[in-house]
Amino acid sequence: MSDATYANQTAYLRTTPAPAEPPPALAQGPVAWARQNLFSGPVSALLTLASIAFLVWVIPGLVRFLITDAVWHADSGEVCRANQGGACWPFIWAKASFFWYGPYPESQHWRVDLVEVVGAALIVWLLWQGAPKRNVAALLFFVAFPILSFVLLRGSDWLGLPVVTTDLWGGVLVTLLVSLVGIVFSLPLGVLLALGRRSKLPIVNAICTGFIEIVRGVPFIIVLFMANFMLPLFLPEGWTPDRLLRPLVGTALFAAAYMAEVVRGGMQAMPKGQYEGAASVGLGYWQTMRLIILPQALALVIPGIVSNFISLFKDTTLVAIVGIFDFLRTIETAYNDPNWTSPTTSATGLITAAAFYWVFCFGMSRYSQGVERRLRAGRRH
Amino acid sequence: MTVQTAGHDAPKAGFSLYDPRLRGIVYQVLLLAALVALVWTASSYAVANMARLGIPLNFDFWNQTAGFEINQTLVSYSALSTYGQAFWVGLYNTLLVGAFGIVFATIIGFVVAVLRLSPNWIVSKLATVYVELFRNIPLLLQLVFWYTVVLKSLPQPRQSVSVFGAVFLNTRGLVVPNAVFHDNAAVVGWALVAGVVLTIAFSVYGRRRQAATGQQSPVLWVSLGLLLGLPVLAYLLAGMPIGLEMPVLRGFNFSGGRQIFPELAALLLGLSIYTGAFISEIVRAGIMAVGRGQHEAASALGIRSNVTMRRVVIPQAMRVIVPPLTNQYLNLVKNSSLAVFIGYPDLVQVFAGTVLNQTGAAIQCMALTGFVYLAISLVLSTVMNVYNKRVALVER
């Protein structure tokens, strides 16, 4: 069979090469990118235009308010009152020390600074995955540091440090303190509660489950109110606990109930073989938990623990309801100061507070996402 | 066999301190004793302290005159009403915020999640900025911001921002037209009820018909017709029995119309925006948890992308979404207690605040308030669990 007849019989067979297609006009470059990612269809184009309109509406206003129209230098609120269109930054500079330390005596500020530096160093040591001897850091952070900070902040005549009563504590100091107490106490308490809830002993189980569910079922404000109003009632006459201690107790118990559920989740994720393996090498209940289950379960739920810490950090703002001078409360007090009242002072103060909380919370959530990625990478092998 | 039984029974026969069951009982008895001792001591101190401070330990205050005003009430209430009535006013206000907050937060959450997953770069980035911004700032701070900065900077009633001369926005809140019901208004209501019933019946019929014959019924259009058409028809036939009462500026304030106070507006705004950010993350995680294969299989069958989303992806995503969504709903209701900071008269502000301060009955007010929140949580999570059972995977 010759080629010609073959070509005749099979009409679809091409005998000459097809002409080359022109190169795709817009496969790459900014225009192609915009077409793919911004204007891929009528709905998408409409959304893009709406977004751009929104940004054009918001961003110039924000820039004007925060930067170009803002007052940057002034000694009092006069200039801010005269200028109505922008933020009043001198208010923040003037009140910075009050925001940070509250009414804490100025000559003793170094004590707060020292506690904060030591705390920050320990936290970095604890959270840095590659750091050596992180268990030492944990011990220092959860045991030594709370004692050190209490002694330093409170002071004692015996050490030659003048006593600063807790009603003089305020600002960022109190916000960090409440979060710290919540974190330091909620983790061990939460582990105990989780163990109790997973326990086969019916009474232990009922008590722990009841506590966890009741605390998780009521708002934090109610827990704070209870700690504030009812704690003194349940103690002998004259034993009135310190006014800062009461919300701290409430915070620790509240955070512990939430922590317990996270820890329980980790323990439930442990395969049965881990318990059986521990039992077969002759470990008792506490040994199994301490050496086998908890180390793995806690590592598994680090993201959950961190997200609990984030909520706790945000919730510390509520302690203002029982008259504690936390950071947000100092901001509110400061912008009501008649020296600085102006139409934009409150907005300036609240934006500063928002930036502060946002940086902390966003940082923590980024950290927990990083840990999550590491854990997932570890599990794949 | 006998050997095994004997071996199994052996530890039971002896009485040993190392028997875990015995130790368990001993531990529990000790724990219970400690707890009982703690509760007993604490309550005896409480009784003594309360007697000393003259704090009542009963609910006698319930029927006494409250003597304080509440600016926003859903039921009739005045300063002459009792503390008990104040409790109900607070509870209804809490439920009002909770219900509307859940609806708004859910809408925001689902919309933002879809936007964030959209292939459109700028839209998904904006949605990301929204989520990361609002969920990392304390809710209280947001509420104070909405209340003191945004709503308080609105104009005075005389310079209200007006929309079509019917809705007015000013520093005292939002004034909207009020519906006025005349004689035959009930007819319209019944027409709406009939529309709802017929819609449900038609959608059940449509589903059965599709299951039996494979033919789809125009459920959407028929439902729209029934739900909108019937009430409108009834409205026209009954001689337009529902009118609108327009707000009118008289002196320094509006008369007529319904006023939505800035406290309520700020609380709803803050709660929905904050919780919406969390819900959108949950929905996004749920949608992303549905395997790629599901999308590909659906498109291989020639199903269009919006139908794929509605019929293939979302039903499977709901299984992942519903349990954490329930948690967010519970959080929203609990967070509505932050109302106390901006002065919205919710249960905590009215009952655990004003009533407690006036009567001094700390334990009763706290316990009752806590109990109400527990009950709301329980009801809400039961409802969501029923829904969860419906969407959960049926394994055979």
Q: What angle do CA B248, B232, B227 make, to 5 degrees?
A: 115
Instruction: Tokens 């020296």: give the residue.
Output: A339
Q: Which two tokens stand for residue B141?
A: 């701070």
Longest dimension (CA), chain A: 116
- At residue B213, the 3 state secondary structure works out as helix
Q: Which two tokens stand for residue A302?
A: 């680090």
User: H helices then E strands: how many in chain B?
Assistant: 16, 8
Instruction: Tokens 């002034």: give the residue.
Output: A74
Kindly report the average pLDDT of chain A as a whole number.
86
Q: Which of B18, B53, B144 to mutate against chain A (most A CBs within 10 Å)?
A: B144
Distance from C-alpha of A104 to C-alpha of B202, rounded to nearest angstrom? 70
Chain B positions touching A283 (Cβ under 8 A) are none
Cα→Cα distances A258→A180, A220, A226, A338, Å: 16, 11, 18, 41
> What pLDDT was estimated at residue B6?
44
- At residue A18, the 3 state secondary structure works out as coil
Does one domain contain both A232 and A132? yes
Nearest to B340 by CA among A236, A322, A231, A88: A322
Distance from C-alpha of B348 to C-alpha of B341, rounded to nearest angstrom? 10
At B23, which amino acid appears? Answer: R
Q: Which residue has the higher pLDDT, B62 or B334?
A: B334
DSSP string, B12-52: HHS--TT-HHHHHHHHHHHHHHHHHHHHHHHHHHHHHHHHH
pTM for this model (two decimals): 0.85
- Per-residue pLDDT at B211 exceeds 60: yes
| B contact residues 117-146, partner A, Cβ 8 Å cutoff | 118-123, 126, 132-133, 135-142, 144-145
Distance from C-alpha of A318 to C-alpha of A247, rounded to nearest angstrom? 10
Distance from C-alpha of B228 to C-alpha of B221, rounded to nearest angstrom? 10
Instruction: Tokens 């900025």: give the residue.
Output: B129
Handedness of CA B354, B360, B366, B372 (dihedral sign): negative
* Residue B165 φ then ψ, to 5°: 65, 15
B31 contacts: CB under 8 Å, gap ≥ 6 = A203, A204, A207
Report the gap between the CA of A380 and the closest CA in chain B (Å).
18
Does one domain contain both A133 and A278? yes
> What pLDDT was estimated at residue A9?
63
Name the residue among A37, A40, A222 with its Cβ closest to that of B370: A222
> What pLDDT was estimated at residue B372?
94
| A contact residues 310-369, partner B, Cβ 8 Å cutoff | 310, 314-315, 317-318, 320-321, 328, 332, 343, 346-347, 350, 353-354, 357-358, 361-362, 365
Answer yes or no: is A283 within a domain: yes
Average pLDDT over every residue of B166-172: 75
Does one domain contain both A52 and A147? no
B360: left (phi over 0), alpha (psi -120 to 50) or beta: left
Distance from C-alpha of B52 to C-alpha of A237, rounded to nearest angstrom? 9
- At residue B346, the 3 state secondary structure works out as coil
Query: Within 10 A of B68 (CB to CB), how many other CB atoms are there?
Result: 16
Q: Which residue has the higher pLDDT, B253 or A17?
A: A17
| B contact residues 321-360, partner A, Cβ 8 Å cutoff | 330, 334-335, 337-338, 340-341, 348, 352, 356
Range of the domain at A54: 31-68
pLDDT band for B244, please (50, 70, 90 cuts): confident
Q: Which residue has the higher pLDDT, A272 or A166?
A: A272
Q: Which helix (H) or strand (E) holds B129?
A: helix B121-135
Average pLDDT over every residue of B345-357: 88
Report the gap between the CA of A229 and the closest CA in chain B (Å).
7
Name the residue among A37, A204, A285 with its Cβ closest to that of B119: A37
B238 at the A interface (CB within 8 A)? no
> What pLDDT was estimated at residue A133?
83
Dump pLDDT digits (tens) for B3-31. Answer: 444 444 444 555 676 777 888 888 889 98
> What pLDDT was estimated at residue A25?
65
> What pLDDT was estimated at residue A379?
62
Does one domain contain both A148 and A214? yes
- Which of A23, A52, A68 finishes a domain? A68
Residue of chain B whose alpha carbon sits nearest to that of A237: B49
> What pLDDT was estimated at residue B4?
46
By residue count, chain A amounts to 381
Q: Do A51 and B362 touch (CB under 8 A)?
A: no
Q: Cα torsion at A283, A286, A287, A289 (round to 10°)?
A: 110
Q: Which two tokens stand for residue B95?
A: 């439920």
Q: For chain A, first and last CA: distance in Å? A: 60
A132 at the B interface (CB within 8 A)? no
Average pLDDT over every residue of B324-337: 92
Dump pLDDT digits (tens) for A226-267. Answer: 888 888 888 887 777 888 889 999 999 999 999 999 999 888
Q: Which two tokens stand for residue B308?
A: 């794929």
Q: Which residue has the higher pLDDT, A232 or B110?
A: B110
- At residue B17, the 3 state secondary structure works out as coil
Distance from C-alpha of B290 to C-alpha of B321, rounded to nearest angstrom? 11
Residue B65 is given by DSSP the state B
Q: Are strands B173-176 and B167-170 parallel, antiparallel or unpaired?
A: antiparallel
> What pLDDT was estimated at residue B328?
92
Q: Which two tokens stand for residue B246?
A: 């327009």
Q: Which two tokens stand for residue A238?
A: 């004259």
> What pLDDT was estimated at residue B168?
77
Q: Which of B137, B139, B327, B376 to mutate against chain A (most A CBs within 10 Å)?
A: B137
Dump pLDDT digits (tens) for B231-241. Answer: 888 888 877 77
Q: What angle do CA B318, B322, B323 make, to 5 degrees?
A: 140
> What pLDDT was estimated at residue A2?
55
Does one domain contain both A170 and A55? no
Q: Which two tokens stand for residue B79?
A: 């300063």
Q: Which two tokens stand for residue B166?
A: 């019917």
Handedness of CA B166, B172, B174, B175 (dihedral sign): negative
Nearest to A178 by CA among A114, A245, A96: A245
By residue count, chain B amounts to 396
pLDDT band for B376, please (50, 70, 90 cuts): very high
Count how many domains chain A has: 2
Chain B positions touching A220 (Cβ under 8 A) are 334
Does one domain contain both A286 and A210? yes
Handedness of CA B338, B344, B347, B353 (dihedral sign): positive
pLDDT band for B286, please (50, 70, 90 cuts): very high
Strand positions, DSSP E, chain B:
161-163, 167-170, 173-176, 178-181, 242-245, 248-250, 253-255, 258-260
The topology under which CATH files domain B83-177+246-391 is MetI-like fold (1.10.3720)
Chain A positions touching B370 (Cβ under 8 A) are 214, 217-218, 222, 226
* Residue A85 φ then ψ, to 5°: -95, -5
The region of weakest confidence among A72-81, A199-208, A221-230, B374-383 is: A72-81
| A contact residues 37-66, partner B, Cβ 8 Å cutoff | 37-38, 40, 44, 47-48, 51-52, 54-55
Half-sphere exposure of A213 (CA within 13 A, CB side): 13
A259 contacts A301 by C-beta, under 8 angstroms:
no
The region of weakest confidence among A185-194, A252-261, B211-220, B373-382 is: B211-220
Distance from C-alpha of B380 to C-alpha of A305, rounded to nearest angstrom? 25
- Which of A312, A332, A352 finishes a domain? A332
Distance from C-alpha of B359 to C-alpha of B58, rounded to nearest angstrom? 11
Does one domain contain both A64 and A107? no
Q: Roughly what angle, to the nearest 10 degrees, separates helices B83-117 and B262-289?
A: 40
> What pLDDT was estimated at residue B229?
85
Q: Do A235 and B45 touch (CB under 8 A)?
A: yes
A303 contacts A368 by C-beta, under 8 angstroms:
yes
Dump pLDDT digits (tens) for B62-107. Answer: 888 877 888 777 777 887 888 888 899 999 999 999 999 999 999 9
Q: What angle do CA B49, B51, B53 make, to 5 degrees?
A: 70
Q: For chain B, first and last CA: distance in Å? A: 37
> What pLDDT was estimated at residue B23?
81
Kindly report the average pLDDT of chain B as a whole number.
84
The region of weakest confidence among B3-7, B125-129, B259-263, B299-303 is: B3-7
Q: Residue A47 class from Cβ within 10 Å (0-12 exposed, 13-18 middle, 19+ buried)?
A: buried
Dump pLDDT digits (tens) for A258-307. Answer: 999 999 988 888 888 999 999 999 998 889 999 999 988 888 888 889 88
CATH number, position A173: 1.10.3720.10
> What pLDDT was estimated at residue B1?
41
At A41, which amino acid appears? Answer: G
> What pLDDT was estimated at residue A11?
66
Long-range contacts of A241-245 (CB under 8 A, 24+ apart): A242/A166, A243/A166, A243/A167, A243/A322, A243/A323, A243/A324, A244/A166, A244/A167, A244/A169, A244/A174, A244/A324, A245/A166
Distance from C-alpha of A38 to C-alpha of A36, rounded to nearest angstrom? 6
Average pLDDT over every residue of B114-118: 89
Q: Do B356 and A353 touch (CB under 8 A)?
A: no
Q: Which residue has the higher pLDDT, B189 or A275?
A: A275
Q: Which two tokens stand for residue A307?
A: 């997200």
Long-range contacts of A367-373 (CB under 8 A, 24+ apart): A367/A127, A367/A306, A368/A302, A368/A303, A368/A306, A368/A307, A369/A303, A371/A129, A371/A302, A371/A303, A371/A306, A372/A302, A372/A303
B112 contacts B365 by C-beta, under 8 angstroms:
no
Beta-ladder partners of B260: B174
A365 contacts: CB under 8 Å, gap ≥ 6 = A306, A307, A310, B136
Q: Which residue has the higher pLDDT, B105 or B226?
A: B105
